[in-house]
Structure formats: C-alpha cells, structure tokens
Amino acid sequence: MLSFEDVAFQYEGEDLPMLDGLSFHIERGEFVSLIGASGCGKSTILRLASGLLQPAHGAIRAAGADIRTQRRWCGYMPQSDLLFPWRTVGQNLRLPLELRGGLSPAEMDARVLETLRRVGLDDCRDKRPAELSGGMRQRAAFARTLLTGSDLLLLDEPFSALDFITRVTMREWLLRQWEQTHKTILFITHDVEEALFLSGRVLVAAERPIRALRSVPVPLAMPRTTEDLAAPEVQRLKNELIGLLRKEG
Amino acid sequence: MPKRKNVYLPSALLVALFLIVWQALAMGMDAAYILPSPVQVVLRLWALRGPLFTAHLPATMSVTLIGLGFSLALGVALALLMDASPTAEHALYPLIVASQTIPTTALAPLFVLWFGYTIWSKVLVTVLMTFFPVVITVFDGFRSVRTDMIDLMTTFGATRGQIFRKLKLPAALPYFFSALKMAVPLSIIGAAIGEWLGAQEGLGYFSRRMMTQLDGAGVFAPILLLSLVAMALVGVVSLLEKRAVTWRGE
C-alpha cells in the first residue's frame, strides 16, 4: 500500500541527511507504528509520504503508483487537530469533500453525518470546534481524515497533546475504528506503549541518517484491551524498544 | 444587563468629571472665543443645526465614504498582491511604509492646486491617511494563516485558489475588521483636514470659518459632530464584526 524505495532526503542548510537510501513497505490493511526519539526524522518520513516534502532521491509509491503521478492518495492527520475555528464541526468535515468536488451539498451532508455517527459525534455537527473537548476534537479531525476517502491514513502523533486518560481511551477507540474501516494506517508516535497497543508491527527509527527501519512484530492478537499490555512478552518487548531508542539518543 | 453597565461606569464617570472640569474652567475664564464651555458648544451645535446637518455634514460624509472606499479597495488590493507574490512584497512593502513619512497635511495645498476645490483633493488626503493601516493589517491577516493548515489543505489536494478562498480569506476576516475600525475614524479625520486646508463646504471648512470669526463654540460644534459620527460608525462596524466573526481569540 505504501512503499519507500531507496529514498534520500536532506533539509536545506543541514550537514547530515535525514534519510539515506531508506526502503520499507506497508501492506494493505496493516496498522503500522513508527517510533523514534523526537527529531529523528519520523515526521519527515510522514511528510514525504504525504507529498509535503519531495525526496532528493528514490521513489515513494502508494497503491503501486508513484505518488508524484497521483493526487489525494492519503489522508493526513497532523499532531494538532487543525479544525478551522470559523467552521462548525460538520463544515470542517465537509472540507475534504468540498475540495474534491463532484458531490452535491445534500450528498456531502449525508456523508458528513454518516461519518460523524461513526466517530460518535453526531450531536456535535453544528457546534464550533472550541466547544469540544480535546479528545472530541481529535475524533472530529480523524473523521475529517476518513472523509478524504483515501485507504491510506498517515497519522502524526495525533494523541500526543491529550491527557493520559483521554489518550488511553482514544487509542482503544482508534483501534476499533481501524477494525471497522479496514484502512491502512501509518501511525507516528514517541510512546512505545501506544505503538505496541495499536499496531501489528512497529517500525523503529534508531539512527541518523535513517538508512533502514527495524521491523518488530507485536505478539498480541486482535481485538486487544489495555490489560493485554501487561503480558510478560509485551513488557519485555517494550523494554527492548525503549533500550533501542535510548541507545540512539 | 446590570453587569455590563458596571463595566463602563468608570469611563462614564471619567467623561463626566472631564466635562465638569472643562465647564468650570471655561466659566472661570469667561472667554468663549478661547475656551467655550461644553454647554455653549452644545447650544451652538443646536443653533447651527440647519447648515451643519443639511450642507456640511453630507459634504464631509461623502468625502469620508468615497475616501474610505478607495482606501479599502487599494489596501486590500495591495495586500492581495503582496500575499500572492514575494517579489511584489519586497518591491512594495518598504514603499508603503515610506509613504507614511510623507507629511500629508503639508502636501494638501498642492492637491488643491491639482484638483481645485473639487471633492478629489479631499479624497486624496483621506486615502493617503487611511490606506496604510488597511494594507498592513490585512496583509498581516493573510500572513497569520498557519502553515500547517495550508499543508493540511495541500494533502487534501486543494488548489491555490481553494486555499485562498477557504483558508486565507476567513482567517484574514478578523484582521479586516480591525483595519476597518482604524480606517473609519482616520478617514473622517482625513476628510476634515482636507476641508480645513481648502474647501467651500464640509465640517472641516465650517470649523475653520468659525475660527476666523472668533466663534469658539462654533469651532467646537462641527468637531463634536464629527466625533459623534465617528463613534457611531465604529459602533456599526463593531456590530457587523460581531455578526461576521464569531470565533475571535480561538
């Protein structure tokens, strides 16, 4: 669904490249988390995958085709919800539909309402984002990402600004959404436990420049609950991953 | 809403105090051609209501509104141009700032030479005084747009035009209203100064004529009227703003 082939990237004015000959692949329907210490280039990978940055070398493919030949191949969800304050929640969700065009206002409203129901915000359609709690805003932002209609979702630390309890609730919620929607998700986080809970596979960025990502399968069956994280093999894996990230720092 | 009244009570008291001191001072001096009392000014305004409201206020208002219209059009157009092209920004921004160092009031007599006693010499003074805050504030509004919001729209496949219409325009709207609130009083002042320096009608001209007649209260009366009109117009703009911008400060 998403593959990097020998991708290199360097920010202007920096001595070291961020990525150098990086290749990896994500299968359709996978939930993959990418972890790494802050500043290691996780977000750079996501910005490359979403087309906001251009690689100096190599190719990035989504659904088999080079992303340079495509438009709207992914749904990108940034760290901050970025809901427009002048639009109601419903109007915010309409944005990707309006941009794509081809739907009548009635059809757009129907799609918005259906998606609001899916994320449990159907009574918030006419509210302003400012009236919502942090967790509800992230849910609305996720719903907006779903409405891009793309099968590939790129999520950049979407829960990092939330308080701990909301974060735990939100990751359980996200996992259910993934099970129901069958999307392919690349999820960036610096929280090892979050990565283990959510994904089938964890990619570790543990060098600079990033030449390869270490792929670590998570030994937990779906569906999962937060209690599953207490299993000894998961705890062992968690400590191992934390060790990897610390070595790099 | 009693709470709201309390909020404005201190400023109301301060105004009352100021008027009482002014009244006392004027009565003490007893020289209305130097310092007329507030009561004398109000009485004079009432006595002169005929020419002030039928001839001079409409004249000043038409200069004000035409000047304000040109200032808004010019200011927004320049802001749009500078937002669309960095080259235009680099070329224009310093010139726009430099234009404010020109003493417009000193040039105004020249404008009378160019345009005669027509409305256009006054409109030019008004525009030169008013367009600056409009262009700077609206341009700031366009620049206030968060780059991550632009990035988000880009990943949604938005075109430049869509980013402008759906993101930059609404984001700049609160700035536009701030610009308008600065521009309204400035354009009234600009019109009055233009009339003061060369006109045959208008509140600025009338005030000056009363000056030559040593009619102190007659000088103040049109100025009081101008202030009241400016306050009323800013009030109207604030009301419009409340309706249009419901998200300020978020």
Query: How far are the Cα atoms of B49, B210, B218 from residue B223, in angstroms, in the given order?
Result: 13, 11, 9
Domain that holds residue A204: 2-74+152-248
Of B151, B156, B250, the CB nearest to A95: B156
Same domain membership, residue A63 and residue A162: yes
Residues of chain B in contact with residue A43, where contact means CB-CB under 8 angstroms, are: none
Q: Are residues A141 and A97 in the same domain?
A: yes
Please give the DSSP secondary-structure letter assigned to residue B165: I
Determine whether the interchain pair B156/A86 forms a contact, defined as Cβ–Cβ distance below 8 Å. Answer: no
Query: Does the pLDDT at position A15 exceed 70?
Result: yes
What's the rounded Cα separation, in Å, for the pair A109 and B72?
36
Please tell me whether residues A137 and A125 are part of one structural domain: yes
Find chain A residues with C-beta within 8 A of B152's C-beta: 76, 78, 82
Residue A195 has pLDDT above 70, yes or no: yes
Residues A142 and A156 in one domain: no
Listed by number, the residues of chain B in 172-231 with a beta carbon closer than 8 Å to a beta carbon of chain A are 173
The structure tokens 């235009």 sit at B88
Please tell me whether residues A104 and A186 are part of one structural domain: no
**pLDDT score at B222:** 92
Disruptive mutation site among B153, B156, B247, B248 for chain A (greatest number of A CBs within 10 Å): B156
Closest in B155, B157, B173 to A52, CB measured:
B155
B50 vs B68: CA distance, rounded Å: 26
Q: Which residues contact B123 (CB under 8 A, 6 or more apart)?
A: B63, B66, B67, B70, B194
What would the DSSP string read from start to end of A24-40? EEE-TT-EEEEE--TTS
Phi, psi of A162 (to 5 degrees): -90, 160
pLDDT grade for A144, boundaries at 50, 70 and 90:
very high
Distances (CA, A) of B113 to A131, B66, B117, B189, B193: 59, 20, 8, 21, 16
Convert the pLDDT of each residue in A207-249 to its tens digit: 888 888 889 898 888 788 888 888 888 899 999 898 888 875 5
Q: How far is CA A111 from CA A91, B125, B157, in A?
A: 12, 54, 19
User: Are A160 and A129 within one domain?
Assistant: no
Residue A194 to residue A172: CA distance in whole angstroms = 10
Question: What percentage of chain B reaches a pLDDT higher than 90?
Answer: 68
Nearest CA in chain A to B158: A99
Structural contact between residues A19 and A7, judged by C-beta atoms closer than 8 angstroms: yes
If you write DSSP's letter for every residue of B57-83 in order, what string do you get? HHHHHHHHHHHHHHHHHHHHHHHHHHH
A residues 39-58 closer than 8 Å to B (CB): 47, 50-52
A197 and A99 in a common domain: no
- Strands, DSSP E only, in B105-144? none
Q: What is the CATH number of the domain that holds A207?
A: 3.40.50.300
Over the stretch B40-63, which tens digit does the pLDDT of each residue have? 999 999 999 999 999 999 999 999
Q: Which residues of A touch B244 (CB under 8 A)?
A: none
ipTM: 0.87
- Check residue A72 and give its pLDDT: 85
Is the confidence at residue B148, as pLDDT, over 70?
A: yes
Residue recorded with tokens 């006054």: B122
pLDDT at residue A13 greater than cutoff 80: yes
Task: For chains A and B, count residue pairs whose Cβ atoms are closer than 8 Å.
Answer: 55
CB pair distance less than 8 Å for B156 and A84: no
Q: pLDDT class for A167, splitting at 50, 70, 90?
A: confident
Average pLDDT in the A133-162 region?
90
Distance CA B234, CA B62 (A): 17
Calculate helix-pair angle for B203-212, B216-244, nearest 10 degrees. 160
Q: Domain segments of chain B: what residues?
A: 69-244
Nearest CA in chain B to A154: B155
Q: Select from A116, A149, A182 the last residue of a domain.
A: A149
B69-244 CATH: 1.10.3720.10
CA distance B229 to B61: 9
Q: Verify that A163 and A68 share a domain, yes or no.
A: yes
Q: How many domains does chain A have?
A: 2
Does B157 sit within 8 Å of A100, measured CB to CB? yes
Which amino acid is it at B22? W
Judge: B247–A86 Cβ closer than 8 Å, yes or no. yes
Segment B93-143, tens digit of pLDDT = 999 999 888 888 888 888 888 888 889 999 999 999 999 999 999 999 999
Residue A67 · residue A51 · CB < 8 Å: yes
Residue B3 confidence class, pLDDT cut points 50, 70, 90: low
The Cα B92–Cα B133 span in angstroms is 15
Q: Which helix (H) or strand (E) holds B105?
A: helix B104-115
Q: Does B246 touch chain A (CB under 8 A)?
A: yes
3-state secondary structure of B231: helix
Question: Closest Cα partner for B190 from B141, B239, B134?
Answer: B134
A2/A154 Cα distance (integer angstroms): 10
Among candidates A80, A86, A148 on the partner chain, residue whose Cβ is nearest the Cβ of B156: A148
Residue B1 has pLDDT above 50, yes or no: no
Mean pLDDT over each residue of chain A, to the nearest integer = 89
